[in-house]
């Protein structure tokens, strides 16, 4: 008898919970749908990523929140990053965001080498397909120099240590199909393909071309007004 009563009470509680959940869903259906669509949008269409390090200086600074176009290269399944349809391949000079299996981190770097390229670097000077890249000086101080680099038609800024580093040179390598050589613009302070190896095409999740907002970590996290919607 006691068992029957206990079972009845449990069933009643379960039914009551179902009714409450149904009422909750009915009352908040629009809000729940909005949250679900936002999650899908951020997973497969566009998102923003915080950049916490200086590896992409002077192009991207610590505290930048960059807009990531996740439809730049592929149409992906939401949440699991499985390509359903390829739209394009990364180009030399693109700033890419990728989930590195080797470093177990999401990284932001610039594509320097694409499949088929032969690349070497000597004292922070790149040679792509036996062609020495052109450089110009922008700013020099005691520790580093900011320069412009013409990446075979894509001009951008880089930063190099005046004293150089172990990362300043690497021997000639060929880039195989479906792999990319990605480097930080802060050439002597970036754990990129020179450290983690070439980036597989399957790890690339999107491309960045714009800063959404930037917070100054050294000034009470106040926004940097000059970097609002700044184009990279």
pLDDT tens digits along 92-115: 999 999 999 999 999 999 999 999
Q: For the CA atoms of 168, 138, 191, 108, what is the dihedral angle to 10 degrees? A: -150
Predicted confidence band at 198 (pLDDT cuts at 50, 70, 90)?
very high
pLDDT tens digits along 30-58: 877 888 888 888 898 999 999 999 999 99
pTM for the structure as a whole: 0.89
Please state, in angstroms and rounded to a whole number, the distance separating the CA atoms of residues 199 and 66: 20
In order, the DSSP letters of 32-62 are: HHHHHHHHHHHHHTEEEEE--SSTTTTTS-T
Which single residue is written with the structure tokens 């062609």? 131
């Amino acid at each position: 008898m006691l068992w029957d009563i206990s079972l009845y009470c449990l069933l009643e509680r379960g039914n009551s919970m179902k009714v409450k959940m149904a009422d909750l869903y009915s009352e908040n259906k629009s809000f729940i749908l909005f949250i679900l669509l936002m999650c899908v949008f951020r997973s497969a269409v566009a998102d923003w990523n915080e950049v916490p390090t200086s590896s992409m200086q002077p192009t991207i600074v610590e505290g930048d929140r960059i807009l990531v176009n996740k439809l730049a290269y592929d149409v992906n399944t939401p949440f699991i990053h499985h390509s359903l349809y390829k739209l394009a391949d990364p180009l030399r000079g693109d700033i890419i965001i990728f989930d590195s299996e080797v470093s177990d981190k999401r990284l932001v770097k610039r594509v320097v080498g694409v499949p088929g390229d032969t690349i070497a670097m000597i004292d922070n000077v790149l040679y792509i397909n036996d062609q020495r890249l052109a450089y110009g000086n922008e700013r020099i101080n005691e520790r580093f120099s900011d320069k412009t680099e013409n990446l075979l038609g894509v001009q951008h800024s880089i930063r190099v240590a005046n004293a150089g580093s172990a990362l300043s040179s690497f021997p000639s390598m060929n880039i195989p199909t479906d792999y990319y050589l990605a480097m930080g613009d802060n050439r002597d302070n970036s754990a990129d393909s020179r450290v983690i190896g070439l980036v597989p095409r399957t790890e690339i999740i999107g491309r960045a071309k714009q800063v959404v907002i930037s917070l100054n970590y050294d000034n009470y996290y106040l926004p940097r007004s000059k970097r609002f919607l700044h184009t990279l």
